[in-house]
Amino acid sequence: MFSSRRRALPLAAAVVLALSPVALAADPSAAPQVAATGAGTVTINNFEFQPPLVTVAPGTTVTWINRDEEPHTVLSADGGATFKSPALDTDDKFAFTFDKPGTYKYFCSLHRHMVGTIVVK
Amino acid sequence: MNTRRGFMQCLAWAGSGVVWTMTGGVPRALNLGDAALAAPSGGFSFVQISDTHMGFKAEANPDPNATLQAALDKIAGLPVKPAMMIHTGDVTHLSKPAEFDTAEQLIKGAKLDTHFIPGEHDVIGDDGKLYFERFGATGAAPGGWYSFDQNGVHFVGLVNVIGFGPASGGTLGKDQLAWLETDLKGRSASMPVVVMAHIPLWPIYPQWGWTTADADQAFVLLKPFGSVTVLNGHIHQVVQKVEGKITFQTAMSTAFPQPAAGAAPNPGPMKVPADKLKTLLGLREITYAPAAGLKLADQTLA
């Protein structure tokens, strides 16, 4: 029960570290686009991924944070082959870095009607 | 089974099918003390528990261990000892080793042969590796699904919570459907079949994922059988439906209630006053006798 919560802190730190080099190395024309859309963060709230569609530049780390009382997961639509979170309890985070351009659909394996998309371009 | 016995069972099943149609529902009693359930002449009884969610700790039930124990105590107090128990999934809340430990310890206390199928909460992050190590059936297919016979009834345990993409509900997959076809092939159509699966095998409320995308293909395979009883969990409340020779039943949870389909903004745990909680949690006893068929009795923990 508590292990995922313990994991959340080092993960959050890792996200900050991962994001910093990206911000520094990013093409100047790409950086404002990422910042303008608030990209890189998906909030899980009331059984929805918000926003449901996020567009980021290659190399961006996207972080999901669960603000529901219910646990959720984040799995790529290929059954979790590309990315798969552990159970995210309340306030737990999961991060994945999208290196390759493409459209990545994902869902919550606990509530399969919850779906979202990350577009990397 | 000799031919005559098979023939008699076939008659019995045709008979109970008529009764179910006439009453417009499933024979179902609310009290386990019901005389019809207490003495299964030549048959047997078993119990179903579901959605025990070991590790759940939110306001909807601060102590799911105690409510599971209360369910097991009710089972221990039944007038006729059940031949076995089935658990229709979501044994744990977050697939954690300690949660599996607690479940195993408590359920072992019932001293009943117990058959499990996984829920989506049991297979988080590892496609069920921990779950199958503990609760996987002996002789199960590589995907975890299995079947066995008990006193002339064929039981099928399906897995509809692993892998695949967003399907707005459960998925069986072509490997499992192929296995089911082989499993059912050559069986007498007069043999009652009980199908267990965690997520409902009929579309109760697809908007909340309360359905199984490819269940229709399973029912094509089950169509020849004179009696099919589907036992599901997942939605933490009793919903039933009769369709021809197939009866569908979801079960109560022992951990926390969920809202009726569409009755809340989301299907999350339903918070109720403490004194009301036990009226919404429960278990089910199923009694089978060749002459009477299967009878289901849901009982709350109140």
Contact A1 B207 (CB under 8 A): no
A1 inside 8 A of chain B by CB:
yes
Return the pLDDT at B239.
97
CA distance A121 to chain B (A): 23
Which candidate from A69, A73, A106 shows the least CB-CB separation from B58? A69
C-alpha triplet B166, B126, B195: angle, nearest 5°: 65
Q: Is the pLDDT of residue B20 over 70?
A: no
Contact B98 A1 (CB under 8 A): yes
What does the pLDDT average to over B272-282?
A: 96
Return the pLDDT at B183.
98
Closest to B52 measured CA to CA, from B85, B89, B84, B77: B89
C-alpha triplet A23, A25, A26: angle, nearest 5°: 65
Band of residue A39 on the pLDDT scale cut at 50, 70, 90: low
Ranking A30-34, A91-95, B107-111, B215-219 by mean pLDDT, the lowest is: A30-34
B8 inside 8 A of chain A by CB:
no
Q: Which of B54, B59, B124 to mutate to test the interface with A (most CBs of A within 10 A)?
A: B124
Which candidate from B123, B124, B207 shows the least CB-CB separation from A113? B207
Return the pLDDT at B18.
24
Q: Nearest residue on chain A to B122, judged by CA atoms? A: A110
Tell whether ipTM is more than 0.90.
Answer: no
A5 inside 8 A of chain B by CB:
no
Residue B52's contacts (CB-CB under 8 Å, 6 or more residues apart) are B64, B68, B87, B90, B91, B92, B103, B107, B253, B254, B255
C-alpha triplet B184, B189, B192: angle, nearest 5°: 85
CA distance A61 to chain B (A): 20
Residue B59 with chain A: CB contacts under 8 Å: 69
Return the pLDDT at B117.
98
B270 inside 8 A of chain A by CB:
no
pTM: 0.82
Q: Name which residue leads in pLDDT, B17 or B50.
A: B50
Contact A113 B206 (CB under 8 A): yes
Encode pLDDT of B93-151 as tens digits. Answer: 999 999 999 999 999 999 999 999 999 999 998 999 999 999 999 999 999 999 999 99
A7 inside 8 A of chain B by CB:
no
Averaged pLDDT score across all residues of chain B? 88
Which residues in chain B (209-238) have CB-CB distances under 8 A to chain A? 209
Q: Name which residue leads in pLDDT, B34 or B61.
A: B61
What does the pLDDT average to over B196-210?
A: 96
Q: Is the pLDDT of residue A25 over 80?
A: no
Band of residue A79 on the pLDDT scale cut at 50, 70, 90: confident
Residue B259 with chain A: CB contacts under 8 Å: none
DSSP one-letter code for B267: S
Q: Nearest residue on chain A to B207, judged by CA atoms? A: A113
Encode pLDDT of B40-81 as tens digits. Answer: 567 899 999 999 999 999 999 999 999 999 999 999 999 999
Which candidate from A78, A84, A111 shows the least CB-CB separation from B165? A78
- DSSP secondary structure, B44-81, as one string: EEEEEE----BT--STT-S-HHHHHHHHHHHHHT-SS-
Contact A112 B55 (CB under 8 A): no
Ranking A91-100, B21-30, B79-88, B93-102 by mean pLDDT, the lowest is: B21-30
Ranking B17-26, B222-231, B254-263, B291-300 by mean pLDDT, the lowest is: B17-26
What does the pLDDT average to over B26-52?
A: 65
A79 inside 8 A of chain B by CB:
yes
Residue B206 with chain A: CB contacts under 8 Å: 113
**For B43, how many CA atoms within 13 A lie in the half-sphere containing its CB?**
23
A33 inside 8 A of chain B by CB:
no
Residue A92: phi, psi to the nearest 5?
-70, 155
Contact B208 A80 (CB under 8 A): no
Return the pLDDT at A64.
98
Q: Nearest residue on chain B to A47, judged by CA atoms? A: B266
Distance CA B107, CA B111 (A): 8
Contact A112 B209 (CB under 8 A): yes
